[in-house]
Amino acid sequence: MTTDHGHPAVRMYIAGEWCQGETGRTAPIVNPATEEVIGDVPLATTADLDRALDAAAQGFQVWRATPVTERTRILHTAADLIAERAAEIGRTATREQGKPLRESTGEARRTAATLRWHADDARRAYGRIIPTDPGTVLTVRREPIGPVAAFVPWNFPVGGPNRKISSALAAGCSLVIKASEETPASAMELVRCYADAGLPPGVLNLVFGEPAEVSEHLIASPVTRLVAFTGSVPVGKLLAARSGQVMKPSLMELGGHAPVIVCADADPVTAARTAARAKWANAGQVCTSPSRFLVHASLVEEFTAEFVKAAEAVTVGDGLDASTTMGPLANERRLKAMERLTADAVAHGAEIRTGGERLDRPGWFFAPTVITGVPEDAELLSEEPFGPLAPIVAFHDLDEALALANSLPYGLAAYGFTDSAATAERLSAELEAGILSVNHCGGSVHEAPSGGVKDSGYGREGGPEALDAYLITKRVSHLLVP
Ligand code: NAD
């Protein structure tokens, strides 16, 4: 079923049924490229959430008892469906989030691949047998932690929810997931693939609602055993504190402010082209987006000139147009934030080299922006822009660059460009970050862990580590009766 705008009609998915919620309360879904309302999203009441919690409690008993081979088969079937439907899911994501079709369909395809990785990893959640006294068997078992309360944002409307869903289901957990009310149809179409693949009712429940109300209720419930959140640092701290009050573990994937260190021996043109490509992806709304460009003073002009060239080559437009290489910002809050951060940098004496303003057309479009001479006390150097702003700062020696890079409370992604193996090793050892890329701006890969240090959160998604948060470790010592 679709709305008058051809957008999927959004429903919640509770206990294996698509539903609208008890009161029929809704919020509008807006296309960021046109500012038109294209549908609405149902908002859960406490009674809806309680139904989802009951379903997850029962779904957990069913899913944990399902043979792992069968769980894996269902997850692979869901991955096949996601891959088959990637083009349509991508269109839905672009319509409600704004990113270019190439990025959104690519996200849907990667989602299928990530799910396959986790589906196979479900079969490797090994325990161990520990040598001990004769007559005793000492083992360590890994068991699913239980129903999960998950909360995901709007920047990866398909891949974001899937990271939580695929890890939890692979580990044998059930979930109640609240996806973003701003990109709900993408999450719904993802969940539909799992439902159509034969996932038993209650194992996966999708809700929307007033975020604070939903998280308070789901975290406080004794049904949920793990809180998994992706989003901003302030909200992450709030949810981690709430989880702590009820002694519930949490997985926190929060924001960063990724430094890019371009060393004196790097090629400034290659570094600028590579970093610029990563900068404009998803209009800079990626938690690992490069966001502070620390460039050796001897290279800074050449680097800036190439970066400006790359910015001016970007085609900003509606993500549904094939020629678009950067879409609008996903919501008006980000547009306002770009205007505020740019104005503050200029007030502190920075110079806009290109961009610096919203486009004169409907939609939340902001031009790719390069800013130089940004002093340390400008907000842009301490607040994650989460948008298409590239502040460039010159440094004179590596100690200074490392100190600047590590000076913020964040530690998610970091990037370095250098020709020297010794310098690369120093960056690897000394940058305070959970994810480091040298001489490229690599995105996340499902085979390897992603996650932060310091205020950027804790726990890892991707790689074999992804299942850790979703499994408990149980020691069993069995004295054999002679
Ligand atoms: P926000 O802090 O209002 O919300 C971030 C996410 O958390 C949203 O999905 C929101 O629905 C959810 N949320 C907010 N309050 C909540 C609560 N009490 N309980 C549960 N969920 C809650 O910020 P925003 O305006 O949506 O995004 C702006 C900032 O968020 C960005 O500057 C960026 O730092 C951060 N962000 C990070 C990521 C990431 O991948 N780490 C993704 C999106 C946004």
Instruction: Quote the number of domains for the chain.
Output: 2
Are 172 and 272 found together in one domain?
A: no
* For residue 22, pLDDT beyond 90: no
Q: What is the DSSP string of 238-274?
A: HHHHHHHHTT--EEEE----EEEEE-TTS-HHHHHHH
pLDDT for 419 equals: 97
Residue 7 located in a structural domain: no
254 Cα to the center of ligand 1, angstroms: 9
Residue 176 located in a structural domain: yes
> How many residues appear in the chain?
482
Cα dihedral sign, 191-194-195-196: positive
pLDDT for 442 equals: 85
Name the active-site residue from 96, 189, 253, 432. 253
Burial class of 3 by CB neighbour count within 10 A (0 to 12, 13 to 18, 19+): middle
pLDDT for 443 equals: 84
* For residue 482, pLDDT beyond 90: no
pLDDT for 411 equals: 98
Please calculate the CA angle 394-400-405 and round it to the nearest 5 degrees. 80
Measured by CA distance, the residue closest to atom 37 of ligand 1 is 231
Quick: pLDDT tens for 130-167: 999 999 999 999 999 999 999 999 999 999 999 999 99
228 Cα to the center of ligand 1, angstroms: 13
Shortest-distance atom of ligand 1 to CA 160: 40
CA separation, residue 227 to residues 185, 446, 466 (Å): 23, 21, 14
Residue 4 located in a structural domain: no
Quick: pLDDT tens for 429-469: 999 999 999 999 988 899 999 999 999 999 999 999 999 99
CATH of the domain at 230: 3.40.605.10
Helix (H) or strand (E) holding 362, with range, is: none
- Alpha-carbon gap, residue 253 to 398, rounded angstroms: 29
pLDDT for 279 equals: 98
Are 467 and 437 found together in one domain?
A: no
Helix (H) or strand (E) holding 153, with range, is: none
Residue 3 located in a structural domain: no
Is residue 154 lining ligand 1, measured as CB closer than 6 Å?
yes
264 Cα to the center of ligand 1, angstroms: 37
97 Cα to the center of ligand 1, angstroms: 14
Q: 318 in helix, strand or coil?
A: coil
Are 269 and 220 found together in one domain?
A: no
Binning pLDDT at 50, 70 and 90, where does residue 79 land?
very high
Is residue 216 lining ligand 1, measured as CB closer than 6 Å?
no
Helix (H) or strand (E) holding 291, with range, is: strand 290-296
Are 155 and 265 found together in one domain?
A: no
- C-alpha distance across the termini of the chain, in Å: 65
Are 235 and 317 found together in one domain?
A: no
- Alpha-carbon gap, residue 22 to 57, rounded angstroms: 20
Neighbouring CB atoms inside 10 A of 2's CB total 12
Residue 5 located in a structural domain: no
- Alpha-carbon gap, residue 98 to 387, rounded angstroms: 13
* 460, 449 contact by CB (below 8 A): yes
- Residue 437 φ then ψ, to 5°: -120, 130
Is residue 231 lining ligand 1, measured as CB closer than 6 Å?
yes
pLDDT for 4 equals: 81
Are 152 and 248 found together in one domain?
A: yes
Residue 266 located in a structural domain: yes
CATH of the domain at 337: 3.40.309.10
Binning pLDDT at 50, 70 and 90, where does residue 384 land?
very high
Are 242 and 263 found together in one domain?
A: no
Are 462 and 356 found together in one domain?
A: no
Q: Could you tell which of 177, 232, 233 is best to mutate to test the pocket of ligand 1, judged by most ligand atoms within 8 Å of the CB?
A: 232
Find the domain containing 364 and state its range: 258-445
Are 273 and 238 found together in one domain?
A: no
Quick: pLDDT tens for 236-258: 999 999 999 999 999 999 999 99
Quick: pLDDT tens for 183-237: 999 999 999 999 999 999 999 999 999 999 999 999 999 999 999 999 999 999 9
Residue 351 located in a structural domain: yes
Q: Which amino acid is at 422?
A: A
Is residue 444 lining ligand 1, measured as CB closer than 6 Å?
no
* For residue 5, pLDDT beyond 90: no
Are 59 and 115 found together in one domain?
A: yes
Residue 248 located in a structural domain: yes
Are 215 and 135 found together in one domain?
A: yes
Are 32 and 144 found together in one domain?
A: yes
- Alpha-carbon gap, residue 167 to 25, rounded angstroms: 31
